[in-house]
């Protein structure tokens, strides 16, 4: 049985190059700022993964935005776990970090394994400090 625990929601500062990409996509700095203002880095702890676990099944009810730019980490050491793109690690437990747009700390995070209460934003922990945001439309 898969069990997921919310670890944190972290502030993200988009690099200028990604601001430029967002502005180009949305047509104005104001529209880009509206989207980037709700951007976060979410971290979850996952135990007992099952075949078919898909990060795109995770979202908040008010938006269709799903996780992207996923990274996986060893639970004990917090070292990165290398995977193929769009694949989850072949270990039973890991930490998962991903970017999510339109985050609302008052809404639950829906997962196929139950809803998770989320929390307010904080600064990212050391093991996520190098995780870079890349705009994707």
Digit-coded pLDDT (tens) for 56-99: 999 999 999 999 999 999 999 999 999 987 788 989 899 999 99
Question: How many whole angstroms separate alpha carbon 61 and alpha carbon 47?
Answer: 24
Inter-CA distances, 114 with 26, 37, 84, 85, 98, Å: 34, 27, 26, 25, 18
Global pTM value: 0.92
- With cut-offs at 50, 70 and 90, classify the pLDDT of residue 37: very high
Looking at residue 136, what is its pLDDT?
A: 80
Looking at residue 85, what is its pLDDT?
A: 79
Q: How far is CA 82 from the centre of its chain?
A: 17
**Residue 129, C-beta contacts closer than 8 angstroms, at least 6 positions apart:** none
């Amino acid at each position: 049985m898969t069990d997921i625990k919310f670890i944190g929601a972290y502030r993200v500062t988009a690099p200028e190059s990604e601001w430029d990409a967002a502005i180009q996509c949305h047509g104005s700095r104001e529209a880009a700022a509206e989207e980037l203002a709700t951007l976060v880095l979410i971290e979850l702890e996952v135990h007992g993964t099952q075949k078919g676990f898909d990060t795109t099944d995770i979202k908040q009810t008010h938006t269709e935005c799903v996780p992207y730019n996923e990274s996986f980490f060893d639970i004990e050491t917090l070292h990165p776990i290398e995977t193929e793109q769009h694949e989850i690690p072949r270990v039973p437990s890991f930490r998962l970090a991903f970017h999510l747009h339109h985050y609302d700390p008052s809404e639950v995070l829906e997962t196929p394994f139950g809803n998770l209460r989320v929390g307010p934003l904080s600064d990212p922990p050391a093991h996520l400090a190098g995780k870079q945001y890349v705009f994707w439309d």
